[in-house]
Structure 1
Amino acid sequence: MADVDMHGGNHLDSVPHQDKKIVAAIDFGTTYSGYAFTFRTEFDKSDGARQIFTNRWSNSGSLLSAKAPTTALFDPEYKFHSFGYEAEEKYAELVDTKQYKDWHCFRRFKMQLHNTVRLKREMEIKDETGQTFCAKQVFTESIRYLRDKLLKEIETRNPMKIIDIHWVLTVPAIWTEPAKQFMHEAAIEAGIPPEAQQIALEPEAAAVYCRSLQDGTLVDSKYQKVTGAFRSGRSYMIVDMGGGTVDMVVHKVAEDGRLVEIWQASGGPWGGVTVDQTFYDFVVKTFGKEFIEKFRNERAKEWMKLEIEFETQKRKLKFDTNYDIKLELPARLIAESNLEVADLTSYNKLGIENDEFKKFFQPSTEDTVAHIKSILTELSEVDLILLVGGFATSKYVSRVIADAFPDKRVVVPLQAEVAVMYGAVLFGFEPLVISSRVCRHTYGIRMQSKFIEGHHPPEYKAVVDGETMCRNIFSVLATKGEMMEMMATRSETYSSTHREESRRFSRMGCDVYASTSTSPRYTTDESCVRLGCINIEPPANGWPENVNYNLKMFFGQTEFKVTMKNDVTELECSSSFDFLG
């Protein structure tokens, strides 16, 4: 296989926006998931009059919410049984009646895509009892359940053909390309056509939601109205605080009202589940690890009661709460543990000192505040911080962040817990509302150029078609940190020579690379990773002496895509890269 040589320059194109009759968004979260949709006729209304539809989920206690727990249950034959509250309650019932061991319950499994360094299609995850199971099947069936439920609801409101629906899937902005591809493929297997599918980054979707709110509805932590938040020239930070991750992005509002990313999306695994994990560590310390692990596995219904009680107390906590927290314990936990009566504040409540309870939040809030500070040190013009996501609705968390930035206006918008879900619907109708993003990597291809003694490494020296060349040159098409227009295309012209007979029938190869460096020199640099290759077959009568190629690299689409066209056969070869090899 032969390399190509660089020649010429590049330019930008953009992909036109297409109309959709209906947009449906699936917000697949770590702790809770849901869906929302609306019709073009609703979207065309003014912001205040527009209606976005969603399901109202309920458990046996008649709790109504816009999302359901991200819990999937499979039966002993590995067939999908249920999702959400239904799955949680069924599994608790199975545990109670000692019939759970052959069943497979998965909770909060989305974080596996963030925590796994090298994702594979065959990746396995563990259920509640430690048994391994195909991860793709769990994700696919969960998405299929949400898809089918959504379609039924659309049918009741306004029957439409499935081809009229444009689908949006939300993912954390800090996810890798393999994680995004995993979700994309799971959605395809769940019955969502790839051509009707779009990925939305969660903080961007939340920004689109906040932008749609009527001016004056945003109120900061000092109860002052925030006006002109999305006027031209204004900069703001969105902090999406979900169950698993905390994602941040910084935008500036352009003259045309569109949003320009001025700091690349970043964040970490600091969401609400970190508080739950710290609480779990406290419970283990109080009751003993062996006892709690056994109780959790064999008394699922009682354990769920404890989790719900903690969630209730967690949400009630405010920054100025100065009393000790009284946590109601399940009767069986008291009866079966070695807890002394003296440890209880009343017959069934465990007292937790106020400062101790607030420490449950400390790992998350400290990491979040430190990361916000690191960004604002570089972007002093940002004076508005918008907190969205379920974790942001905690009065305690939002106050901690507000107090850490007294010179900034910190806002938790109305319905912050569904900001991403609602924003994803709006984003589906107008994806170009995000004008440009900061490129997260440097992208380019491996090529060869004339060897220069003393400049190029001698080990890369090779004679190609009678000329002394340097192999493994990184030819840059897009640089980390530069502004990249949404749906943009980078184009570059390359050439190859075929004077020698052995090269006339060579298959030409174009290896595509990404780098974490802004200025990689060679594709062998430690910062570089090979994404894939485009292969170009020679014509039947062989290549002429000189061949020119036009390479295009597409950004901002669901899949990272590269095409290459030569001026001899005029065939366009393309590759949508496989990050899950």
Structure 2
Amino acid sequence: MTGKYLKVKYDLVAAIDIGTSLSGYAYSTTSTFSKNPLNITSDQCWNKFSLGKDETERKTPSCILLDKEQNFVSFGYDAQHRFAQLQFKKEEGNYAFFQHFKMCLYEQKIPLHDLMIEDVFGIVKVSAEKIFMYTIKAITDALMEQIRNSGQYTTILKENIRWVITVPAIWDDRNKLFIRQCAILAGLQPDLILIALEPEAASIFCNYLKIQRPENITDGFIQPTAGTKYIVVDLGGGTTDITVHEKLENGMLKELSKSSGKGIGGTTVDNAFIEMIQDKLTGPIFKSLKKENPVVYLDLRRDLEEAKKSVTNEELDVFEIPINYSAINSLSKSQFESSISNQIKDRIVDENLQIDFATVKDLFKPTTDNVLLTVEEALQFEGANEVSMILLVGGFANCEIIERAIRNHFITRRVIVPVDASTAVLQGAVLYGHKPEVICNRITKYTYGVGAQIPFEKHIHDPSRKFVQDKKILRGKVFDIIVARDQSVPRGTYLSRSYCITPKGNKHRSCIYVSDKSRPDYIDEANCRKIGTLEVTLPNTRDKKRIIDVNYLFGGTSLRILAYDRESGHEFESNVVID
């Protein structure tokens, strides 16, 4: 069945993008969207303390500084700057600095509310819930401050804003429910929160480009026309996310294959650079640097990240990497009574380490090969030969090496890197917030169901599953399928289950499970996992049984559940408590 989403009113749409390396926001009002959808504010006033500047930036580093009581101190460039000052004053022991924490949620086996994240030195542990809550609040506070300072939208409050939070397509419902819960803890209104899949948002953005902003079209960019089938590859810091779309006659987008991807991206190349430097400096010096001079260590990591971006396909003899030779050499002499020049065979010129260029290019190869394999796997579906275009977006899409590798590997398909590739997700998320129905259907990634117990049939069912309750012979831990995987589901599709609440109770609870199998039998099978517990609380309980209809809404970016109380006629969104 197809139903309607609950309607909410808002005056402005704001998108929040928490990246592995960088985070940011963008926004536009409903009136602006109706006149010019691409009139989106994405320039942000993040102070670049670490670079000695004070200028407008589109994103800020995904890092956060807390005090010893785990209270919020600062975020982004400000956090970097303050931590450097604390280290200079020898006061860093009273604080904890966190970065690159986004992908800590991915493929976690433990309950997410128990997940702890370590600071950069592995000393302090703070709950993931607190880290993400503080991050979302820091970004929303910065956005609200910019709105107030602009003088244009002084009457707009948080309660007048639809908030769109972008997440990787490879995240499961448990991750999405967790980030939604963190947003609520950060003060956002539940019915004004939308989750957007990052490659989907980029796809939406690319479908607006040609008509609205022809000056942004380079290298023969062709806006997808009706009937065009294309793949979007979002190359980010921690993930490679993929979605495959067909543009329909009405301008809507239809998903052709379930979203996919892997936990690889720009940071996997960063790690390769770090490992190379660690080998050259020898392990003890590198570990000592991290402990004795954390600011130099963090600066080194940032320098390596920046150096990575400057690697091109141009053939060079050597490649220079800034390493703050003076500080590292001073540490080596004091701790190990030896200059690092005695250990490093490469030349050091003006604080820069000169490395054979071929060696540097080889650092990209494992990540590049993995990306190519991930795209190949995403194109293993019926009808994939009709996919004519590959759109590369995300911060890592601007890497010449990865772009050329994809062009050379997929020579029969047109490969395009749109202008604003690095902010395509952020701007597309704003567009999605204004018009979420633009993605008219999606492919289910998993089989969804609830745990159930049903009458036992002697000649059919496994005897080990039999048990007796209230003189009834039942079969337990049954996976009651709501919708199977790999199904094309229109947006707004709801599938119902009816439950009876006893006279003395006012709550209903059901455990929700997903499976990688199309037809799982039991909830304790190897490929099944619990994503959360549905809780329905009924108001005005009467001393009699009551029937509630629970509508599981599919076709969106994440599972939503609406409950209907037959007696009162009241419909409300139900709460899912994540595991």
The verdict on a shared fold, with TM-score over 0.5 as the criterion, is yes
SS at match of 1:423: helix
d(CA) in 1 for partners of 2:225, 2:396: 27
SS at match of 1:417: helix
% same residue = 28
SS at match of 1:578: strand
User: Where in structure 2 are the equivalents of 1:372-451 lying within 5 Å?
Assistant: 372-378=375-381, 379-447=384-452, 451=456
What residue is the counterpart of 1:119 in the other structure? Answer: 111
Deviates further, 366-375 or 343-352: 343-352
Q: Does 1:280 align with 2:269?
A: no
Letter of the 1:68 partner, please give it: T
Contact 2:441–2:555 (CA under 8 A) maintained in structure 1: no
Letter of the 2:423 partner, please give it: V
What residue is the counterpart of 1:8 in the other structure? Answer: none
What residue is the counterpart of 1:351 in the other structure? Answer: 354
User: Where in structure 2 are the equivalents of 1:210-221 lying within 5 Å?
Assistant: 210-214=206-210
Shift of 1:96: 3.0
What residue is the counterpart of 1:254 in the other structure? Answer: 248
Deviations 1:121-142 (A, max 9, x none): 2432211232222332222222
What residue is the counterpart of 1:4 in the other structure? Answer: none
Deviations 1:401-460 (A, max 9, x none): 211111111111111111111111111111111111111111233445554443222334
Shift of 1:462: 5.7
What residue is the counterpart of 1:364 in the other structure? Answer: 367
Say if 1:98 and 1:83 are closer, same or farther in 2 by CA, change over 3 A.
same
Contact 2:535–2:577 (CA under 8 A) maintained in structure 1: no
Gaps of 5+ in 1: 1-10, 497-502
Letter of the 2:431 partner, please give it: L
What residue is the counterpart of 1:474 in the other structure? Answer: 479
d(CA) in 2 for partners of 1:510, 1:16: 22
What residue is the counterpart of 1:52 in the other structure? Answer: 41
What residue is the counterpart of 1:154 in the other structure? Answer: 147
Say if 1:559 and 1:267 are closer, same or farther in 2 by CA, change over 3 A.
closer
Contact 1:488–1:556 (CA under 8 A) maintained in structure 2: yes
Say if 1:128 and 1:451 are closer, same or farther in 2 by CA, change over 3 A.
closer
Deviations 1:253-277 (A, max 9, x none): 1221111111111111111111111
SS at match of 1:214: helix
SS at match of 2:259: strand
Deviations 1:177-201 (A, max 9, x none): 2222222222222221112211111
CA RMSD for the aligned pairs?
Answer: 3.2
Deviations 1:29-88 (A, max 9, x none): 11111111111222112356x243431434233265310111111234433221111211
d(CA) in 1 for partners of 2:89, 2:21: 26
Say if 1:479 and 1:218 are closer, same or farther in 2 by CA, change over 3 A.
farther
TM-score by length of 1: 0.86
Letter of the 2:146 partner, please give it: E
Say if 1:564 and 1:150 are closer, same or farther in 2 by CA, change over 3 A.
closer
What residue is the counterpart of 1:188 in the other structure? Answer: 184
TM-score by length of 2: 0.87
Q: Does 1:15 align with 2:5?
A: yes
d(CA) in 2 for partners of 1:97, 1:47: 48
What residue is the counterpart of 2:14 in the other structure? Answer: 24
Corresponding residue to 2:130 among 137, 144, 154: 137
What residue is the counterpart of 1:338 in the other structure? Answer: 340
Contact 1:560–1:576 (CA under 8 A) maintained in structure 2: no
Corresponding residue to 1:234 among 228, 246, 268: 228
Contact 1:535–1:573 (CA under 8 A) maintained in structure 2: no
Deviations 1:188-221 (A, max 9, x none): 222211122111111111111111111566768x
How many residues are matched? Answer: 556
Deviates further, 95-104 or 349-358: 95-104
Contact 2:432–2:438 (CA under 8 A) maintained in structure 1: yes
d(CA) in 2 for partners of 1:328, 1:561: 49
What residue is the counterpart of 2:89 in the other structure? Answer: 97
d(CA) in 2 for partners of 1:72, 1:517: 39
Deviations 1:516-562 (A, max 9, x none): 2111233443333344356799x97766xxx9764421235687344
Gaps of 5+ in 2: 333-338
Shift of 1:252: 1.0
Q: Does 1:455 align with 2:456?
A: no
What residue is the counterpart of 1:579 in the other structure? Answer: 578
Letter of the 2:528 partner, please give it: C
Corresponding residue to 2:28 among 29, 38, 55: 38
Q: Does 1:560 align with 2:559?
A: yes
What residue is the counterpart of 1:306 in the other structure? Answer: 300
SS at match of 1:24: strand
Q: Does 1:294 align with 2:297?
A: no
d(CA) in 2 for partners of 1:175, 1:200: 11
Contact 1:438–1:482 (CA under 8 A) maintained in structure 2: yes
d(CA) in 2 for partners of 1:540, 1:21: 39
Between the two structures, name the one with larger relative contact order (CA 8 Å, sep ≥ 6). 1
SS at match of 1:13: coil
What residue is the counterpart of 1:315 in the other structure? Answer: 309
Letter of the 1:375 partner, please give it: A
Letter of the 1:70 partner, please give it: S
Q: Does 1:166 align with 2:128?
A: no
Letter of the 1:358 partner, please give it: K
SS at match of 1:121: helix
d(CA) in 2 for partners of 1:342, 1:560: 56
Corresponding residue to 2:196 among 187, 194, 200: 200
What residue is the counterpart of 1:5 in the other structure? Answer: none
Say if 1:487 and 1:326 are closer, same or farther in 2 by CA, change over 3 A.
same
d(CA) in 2 for partners of 1:571, 1:380: 48
